[in-house]
Amino acid sequence: MDFSNFKPESLMMSYGYKPSLSEGAIKCPIFQTSTFVFNTAMEGKRFFEVAYGLREKEKGEELGLIYSRLNNPDLEILENRLCLWDKADDCAVFESGMSAISTVMMEFLSPGDLLVYSRPVYGGTDHFIQHFLKRMKIQSVGFRAGETKEEIIARIEATGNAANLKLIHIETPANPTNAVIDIQLCADVKKHFSTEDNQVLLSVDNTYMGPVWQHPLQHGADLVLYSATKYIGGHSDVIAGACLGSFELMARVKGLRTFLGNMAGPWTGWLLMRSLETLKVRMDQQAENAMHVAAYLNNHPKVESVYYLGNTHENGTAAEREVIERQFSSFGAMIAFDVKGGEKEAFQFLDNLKLIKLAVSLGGTESLAEHPQTMTHADVDPEDKKVMNITEKLVRLSIGVENYNDIISDIDQSLATI
Ligand SMILES: *Cc1c(COP(=O)(O)O)cnc(C)c1O
């Protein structure tokens, strides 16, 4: 039977795991071990040759198990399964989304280089760029959703450092208002500045939509990044991250991960494998619930604007509609909306929710609500906040797997208190 035609959700229970290697256990055990026993000294020597890049792998040769900072079955099987969703060659799992992002930036940027990024990016990423990378003498320039290819190129040229552009890093749709950024357009900008000796890379933080609803590698990205804490983990009980891409780029990412030692541990790997079995059903249900919640909010007299991909698709420009159809297979499960009024009304709404919890993070089975202006985006540049509609009256919802009628009735009773 040809398993390669199967959908990823059909393979999340079995792919890459051989029960015969684990006493017939149906599930991959937790390999809670720091090191692995070699059969012979020669075997150990050959494993290290591959691990340290002293020789190329022979055809069909897998890197043998050495030491859990380099490899561990719970991570390797998880990484192989994650590759199926994004059709990537290889994957590296990290102890957090931030460690995946910072490792990629440190591997592909050197002092004097230029980084281009979409604004606003995740707060932790923004801090890393503005503080750590700046201290490492890495220059950065931001652009916003809706800018044309020519405008982005002009911004890059205005830095006077376009020849040293090495990495374009984006998040799409943008958090918290679901503003759409066109991956293909960014890939065109990348091509514009790439030369024979300087291949500019494009990395996409796909946490908001992935790995089910958007596949950046298919639209010209080189690397996909995840906070696996969000949809991939999906139960708000684990912090983890992932990076996927070609064998060539991932060899570099995994190389730095080995020396920073920021790989995920076996217990995290095991938890994420368990999560992946229900990834598709969870995300499908969350997207369906979000559709109902958005429809409810669209008609509520105390709600001003609703920022949801389904709304942009219906009421946005033809260009926005085209990008949404090309890039996303769903409108997702993140909704932001303006309450009529200001901070007082927004807080009133947040404080009176009963079923939905007041917490940052997203993508979990339980619905969450938060106030971007004073919480997740508190540190965002005021000008960006204004342009991106991150105001006092904005509330962000991550829709979970509860019955959507119950989510709506909680929102309804809480809006009624305003
Ligand atoms: C949460 C998040 C991160 C950071 O991930 P951690 O797992 O918390 O380190 C990065 N990017 C986006 C878009 C996120 O939502």
- The per-residue pLDDT for range 100-126, each reduced to its tens digit, is 999 999 999 999 999 999 998 998 999
Pocket probe for ligand 1: among 214, 230, 268, 334, the residue whose CB has the most ligand atoms within 8 Å is 230
Which one, of 308, 349, 362, 353, lies nearest residue 331 by Cα? 308
CA 299 – ligand 1 centroid, Å: 32
Residue 2 has pLDDT above 80, yes or no: no
State what percent of residues in the chain have pLDDT above 90: 91
CA 356 – ligand 1 centroid, Å: 21
Pocket probe for ligand 1: among 229, 231, 243, 396, the residue whose CB has the most ligand atoms within 8 Å is 229
Atom 15 (ligand 1) nearest CA: 207
Say what the pLDDT of residue 52 is: 83
Say what the pLDDT of residue 19 is: 96
Residue 380 has pLDDT above 90, yes or no: no
Residue 73 has pLDDT above 90, yes or no: yes
Q: What is the pLDDT of residues 157-167, one digit of tens each?
A: 999 999 999 99
Mean pLDDT value across the chain: 96
CB 233 within 8 Å of CB 274: no
Three-state SS letters, 109-143 = CCCCCEEEEEECCCHHHHHHHHHHHHHCCCEEEEE
Index of the ligand 1 atom closest to the CA of residue 121: 13
CA 54 – ligand 1 centroid, Å: 35
Coil, helix or strand for 278?
A: coil
CB 43 within 8 Å of CB 64: yes
Index of the ligand 1 atom closest to the CA of residue 100: 9
CA distance 185 to 323: 10
Residue 1 has pLDDT above 80, yes or no: no
Q: Any idea which of 109-113, 176-180, 192-196, 290-294 has the lowest mean pLDDT?
A: 176-180
284 Cβ neighbours under 8 A, 6+ residues apart: 212
Residue 36 has pLDDT above 80, yes or no: yes
* Residues 196, 200, 202, 203, CA torsion sign: positive
Q: What is the pLDDT of residues 293-302, one digit of tens each?
A: 999 999 999 9
pLDDT bracket for residue 61 (50, 70, 90): confident
CA distance 16 to 166: 34
339 forms beta bridges with: 303
59, 142, 275 from 120: Cα distances, Å: 44, 8, 29
41, 55, 256, 327 from 200: Cα distances, Å: 42, 27, 19, 22
Index of the ligand 1 atom closest to the CA of residue 362: 15
pLDDT bracket for residue 26 (50, 70, 90): very high
Index of the ligand 1 atom closest to the CA of residue 240: 7
Say what the pLDDT of residue 57 is: 85
Say what the pLDDT of residue 3 is: 79
**Catalytic positions:** 69, 122, 205, 230
Full-model pTM? 0.96
**In 10 A of CB 8, how many CB atoms?**
19
Mean pLDDT within 207-213: 95
Q: What is the pLDDT of residues 318-366, one digit of tens each?
A: 999 999 999 999 999 999 999 999 999 999 999 999 999 999 999 999 9
Domains and CATH numbers, the chain: 68-276 (3.40.640.10), 279-415 (3.90.1150.10)
Q: What is the pLDDT of residues 381-408, one digit of tens each?
A: 898 899 889 999 999 999 999 999 999 9
Atom 7 (ligand 1) nearest CA: 97
CB 232 within 8 Å of CB 208: no
Residue 245 has pLDDT above 80, yes or no: yes
Residue 252 has pLDDT above 90, yes or no: yes
Q: How many CA atoms lie within 13 A of 378 on its CB side?
A: 6
Residue 305 has pLDDT above 90, yes or no: yes
Say what the pLDDT of residue 46 is: 94
State what percent of residues in the chain have pLDDT above 70: 100
Index of the ligand 1 atom closest to the CA of residue 228: 7
Residue 282 has pLDDT above 90, yes or no: yes
Which one, of 415, 409, 365, lies nearest residue 395 by Cα? 415
Residue ranges lining ligand 1, Cβ < 6 Å: 96-98, 122, 124, 171, 175, 205, 207-208, 227, 229-230, 239, 241
| Torsion from C-alpha of 80, 85, 87, 89, nearest 10 degrees | -20
Pocket probe for ligand 1: among 95, 101, 122, 238, the residue whose CB has the most ligand atoms within 8 Å is 122
Coil, helix or strand for 55?
A: coil
Residue 172 has pLDDT above 90, yes or no: yes
